[in-house]
């Protein structure tokens, strides 16, 4: 008999991201996540493609999901994808906490997602004002 140190309640399981992802991919888990794990191992291209979609990543997924290498840490995921990190990280706009900063000298600052968005756009505006040019197309976040 297995003895668990901790077990999630049904309510916690129902509200988990793993359960939400299972519903998104139409995987009937009934909390049998071993089967989900087996599916992800047996069908990694499909799993990671679905995870990209579930995550609502802004960008072009590309055609190749995994480029395998005999050396595991040299395997590439979405090697021909195109995305803009800033556009993805700043898509959340709210008054919720985005960054909590504490320096070694005791300076503290908390920045919400809305404030972070505004700071990034101001910095982007400054860089444009001094003549810095982008090498490739920028995200829609700072296009204003």
pTM above 0.75, yes or no: no
Name the DSSP class of 139. Answer: P
Domain ranges within the chain, ordered by starting residue: 10-82, 84-144
For residue 64, which of 80, 49, 42 has the smallest C-alpha distance? 80
pLDDT in tens, the chain (144 residues): 678 898 889 899 889 998 899 888 887 666 667 788 898 999 999 999 999 999 999 999 999 999 999 999 999 999 999 999 889 989 988 999 999 999 999 999 999 999 999 999 999 899 999 999 866 655 665 555
Cβ atoms of 61 and 52 within 8 Å: the answer is yes
Structure tokens at 76: 């590439």
């Amino acid at each position: 008999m297995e003895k668990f140190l901790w077990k999630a309640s049904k309510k916690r399981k129902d509200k988990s991201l793993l359960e939400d992802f299972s519903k998104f991919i139409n995987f009937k888990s009934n909390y049998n996540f071993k089967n989900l794990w087996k599916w992800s191992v047996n069908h990694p291209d499909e799993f990671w493609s679905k995870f990209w979609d579930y995550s609502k990543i802004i960008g072009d997924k590309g055609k190749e999901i995994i480029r395998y290498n005999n050396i595991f840490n040299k395997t590439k995921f979405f090697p021909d994808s195109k995305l803009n990190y800033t556009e993805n990280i700043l898509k959340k706009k709210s008054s919720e906490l985005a960054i909590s900063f504490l320096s070694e000298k005791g300076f503290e600052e908390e920045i919400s997602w809305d404030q972070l968005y505004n700071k990034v756009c101001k910095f982007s505006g400054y860089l444009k004002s001094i003549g810095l040019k982008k090498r490739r197309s920028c995200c829609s976040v700072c296009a204003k």
